[in-house]
Structure 1
Amino acid sequence: MGGHWIGLTFCCWWQLCLAQTLRPRIANARFATNNPTLTTIALEKPFCIFDALMSTGASYEVYLYVMADSAYHSRLPVTDNSSKPLNTTFQQTNGGLSGAYRAATFNVPNCTSPPKLTDAADATKAPTVLTQYLIRVGEDDSCLYDPEFLEACNPPLSQDTAYRFKYILVDRTAGVMKDETVWSHPIKTKKLKQSSTIDTWPGRRSGTMIVITSILSVLTFILVLGFLAALLQAVLTTEEMPTETRYASQITQHAVPRIQEAAEL
């Protein structure tokens, strides 16, 4: 019996350590093809990370915190001294440049039935699968201009900027943090390219563009060649028509005298 409790304790301790070493990750490219963008970054939700620490009778939710990599500190707190999550906003932290802000709140993902990659190919199931699987940071800009908005604000990110992310598990009843992940590795948004820097040299075109251009060139050449052949045939036909008329008229003129000579004889 004592060995059973020791094994259970070790298992819980191992799950706790595992949760502490896991970190938010960028979403799979098969689910989010254009990621990151100029102002958004799609992350995987924390599947099967907090399950071992969730008691049966409690209700939990997940908070997502965001900060710029320039403000990163491994021990930067996201709770106060009583383990209550901080409600810092995007505006208070200057968009994450001076600290972490709470960007989103959502239910703990169901580890027993994670989303299937095959369902993402179905147009009717894709929105549900994406909502279950990922959280897109920077997709909401309405909260910035609503003075009465009191929930977590998830406004657009800055372009060409690296960010870090953290998930924490919160007990809804007590309002305190029960577990957390470590901060993610830096993930950088894309940079807007200037029109003057776009390379238009054909050698830098993709293989598909080269194939399409080649096919169009061949079709154009065949079309021009057919037009020239039709024009040449029309010219030759026009030149041959007078020759045939003269030949027929000569035959008619010589035939009349011969018939008269035969009648006189």
Structure 2
Amino acid sequence: VKGDWEALFLGVSISDLLFPAQSLRPQIASPQLATNNPTFTTVALEKPFCVFDGLLSPGKSYEVYLYAMMDSSNSAVTDNNSKPLDTTFQEVNGGQLGPYKAAVLNVPDCASPPKLADIRNVKKASDVLKQYLFRVGDDVSCLYDPNFLGVCNPPLASGTTYRFKYILVDVTSGIMKDETLWSEPIKTNSVKKSSTIDTWPGRRSGGMIVITSILSVLIFLLLAGLFASVFFAIMGSEDSATTETRHISQTVQQVAPRPQASSDRADQ
């Protein structure tokens, strides 16, 4: 982990050596660690291991703020007094009008970073990734929760280019101590249009898929109607046969001679 950041120190100025984070950029997570990155609404970044350690004073408390913005936005993340901005996702229209605070993190422990070899261990992989990576856009509920009081990290817009920045903040004074450069532009995935979907076999267009769906429904209704017609026809024929049988039975009973009573024979 440390080597990835330290490799960028070659050829830096004296100012960069005094404030090393100012020559570094947040890095998108390696494909070996985040296979689906970026997604339509998230970007996984490496946390800033061994970036701010030279500025940490014993006995003081520090935090790392992560800012996000759309590529064309204003890039200032502090006011004139070097105090970090508390702008929210809503206030800057999702990063379109300027950067917003996406996360507040603990300063990563450079002395004992996560062991990336543990990723192969199913039981340890999830914990290692949480220590090493941060996923921007991973909170789907904070915008709509009226009781949410933390820093909101809502989903990013699909097919949109973003930049990210880490800053080190002295918790006691609330002053920014150091910052990284803005990251290189990182674009979220775009949602494919229905006309570009490869529907094997035949590479059908979106319109053909809709027509096929409608025809399938119509065929189903036609078959259902046919089966219903056959069913009622069979039931009708059975009712007719039963009625005819009853009619014949009644006719036979009416035509059959009535047996002569004993009194009638006596009179004769």
Partner of residue 35 from structure 2, selected from 24, 29, 33: 33
SS at match of 2:166: strand
The structural deviation recorded for 1:186 is 0.5
Match of 1:49 in 2: 51
2:16/2:22 contact within 8 Å kept: no
| 1:65 matches 2:64 | no
Match of 1:84 in 2: 83
Percent identical among aligned pairs is 65
1:43-82 deviations in Å (ceiling 9; x for gaps): 00001110011111211110000000122x4xx3211122
> For 1:13 and 1:81, how far apart are their aligned partners in 2?
21
Amino acid corresponding to residue 145 of structure 1 in structure 2? Y
Amino acid corresponding to residue 46 of structure 2 in structure 1? E
1:129-175 deviations in Å (ceiling 9; x for gaps): 01110100000022101234332110000000000000000111111
Amino acid corresponding to residue 153 of structure 1 in structure 2? C
TM, length-normalised to structure 1: 0.68
| 1:98 matches 2:97 | yes
| 1:134 matches 2:133 | yes
Q: Structure 2 unaligned runs (5+)?
A: 1-12, 204-268
The structural deviation recorded for 1:85 is 0.9
The structural deviation recorded for 1:108 is 0.6
2:44/2:136 contact within 8 Å kept: yes
1:15/1:52 contact within 8 Å kept: no
The structural deviation recorded for 1:13 is 4.8
SS at match of 2:195: helix
1:62/1:108 contact within 8 Å kept: yes
1:103/1:153 contact within 8 Å kept: yes
SS at match of 1:83: coil
Out of 93-102 and 52-61, give the one that drifted further: 52-61
The structural deviation recorded for 1:117 is 2.1
> For 1:16 and 1:85, how far apart are their aligned partners in 2?
21
> For 1:164 and 1:19, how far apart are their aligned partners in 2?
16
Match of 1:207 in 2: none
Alignment of 1:233-252 (within 5 A): none
What is the alpha-carbon root mean square deviation over aligned residues?
2.0
Out of 106-115 and 13-22, give the one that drifted further: 13-22
Q: Structure 1 unaligned runs (5+)?
A: 1-10, 205-265
Match of 1:176 in 2: 175
SS at match of 1:183: coil
> For 1:79 and 1:148, how far apart are their aligned partners in 2?
27
1:13–1:53 distance in 2 versus 1, CA, 3 Å: farther
> For 1:144 and 1:128, how far apart are their aligned partners in 2?
26
Match of 2:248 in 1: none
The structural deviation recorded for 1:126 is 1.1
Give the aligned length.
191
| 1:194 matches 2:183 | no
TM, length-normalised to structure 2: 0.67
Amino acid corresponding to residue 87 of structure 2 in structure 1? T
> For 1:57 and 1:165, how far apart are their aligned partners in 2?
29
> For 2:199 and 2:86, how far apart are their aligned partners in 1?
48
1:174–1:194 distance in 2 versus 1, CA, 3 Å: same
Alignment of 1:96-245 (within 5 A): 96-200=95-199
